[in-house]
Amino acid sequence: MSQLTFTGFKAMKAIKFSQSEICNQDEFMDILQGIIDDISSKADHPSIWSMVRYDPAGKHEKRSVQAITGIVLEYQERYAADLGAGLSQIPFRYAVARTERSTGRFFSVFFPLAFQPDTNQSIRIAGVLAHQIGCYGLGHGSGTPTFLVRLEGSQTAAYHDGPVISQQFIHDTAKVEEACTALEDYEGPKPATDETRATLSLPTKRLETDKFKVKVTESTENQSQSKNRKIAAQMRVLADLFEADD
């Protein structure tokens, strides 16, 4: 089983990482909580993290990624209830911690991996997880290898124990077609449902339909002919009214 890596940055746009924590799978939660505690107690401690191992001589970019050791999905705080319900269906090992951005507060879910996937495999895994969780409010870029989250200090991360996601997960979920677009499908706010749209378009007062019964006695063609005859009769009456005297 491969080791995990947490890589820390001091700024979202930092070119180089400033700290790296490598641990075994059974140390996953302890290391993550230790990072959070250090953010609270050390002013210069990096607060921006990923679960990717970078080339020490490289930069924060795709080509400098040496190993992807975990998947991180970030969700808007307002969907916390939906996220909790979705995660209750996930059997794998993960941790949930509060994160923040200039746009607001979030919850980030950290999934350790038992192997080191390539970029396409990691995005596929992220897509399957996003689909299985089924929660909207997914942050832009979530699940991609270079995705970074800003951890809040002074918190205790939640932890769910279970099997670590292995390479078998890719084979087991090969037929989940929704995974191809799930990262985009669940990004942003939850859309209005058909039921909600229907409710919004309904009148506020129920109509008493008995008062609006219509008895059809003539075809459309007959109705048109009858109307034309009435107009002609009215025109003859008007002509008689205005006929010049002898």
Q: Which 8-state DSSP code applies to residue 121?
A: H
Please tell me which residue, 193 or 4, carries the higher pLDDT value.
4
Q: What is the pLDDT of residue 13?
A: 83
pLDDT above 60 for 153 = yes
The share of the chain scoring above pLDDT 90, in percent, equals: 68
pLDDT tens digit sequence for 16-36: 888 999 999 999 999 999 999
Q: Which residues pair with 149 in a beta bridge?
A: 49
Q: What is the pLDDT of residue 67?
A: 96
| Phi, psi values for residue 84, rounded to 5° | -60, -40
**Helix, strand or coil for residue 124?**
helix
Tell me the average pLDDT of the chain.
84
- pLDDT average, residue stretch 43-48: 93
The share of the chain scoring above pLDDT 70, in percent, equals: 78
Contact 154, 97 (CB under 8 A): no
Parse the chain into domains and list their residue ranges: 4-194, 212-241
CA distance linking residue 123 with residue 93, whole number of Å: 18
Q: What is the pLDDT of residue 204?
A: 37
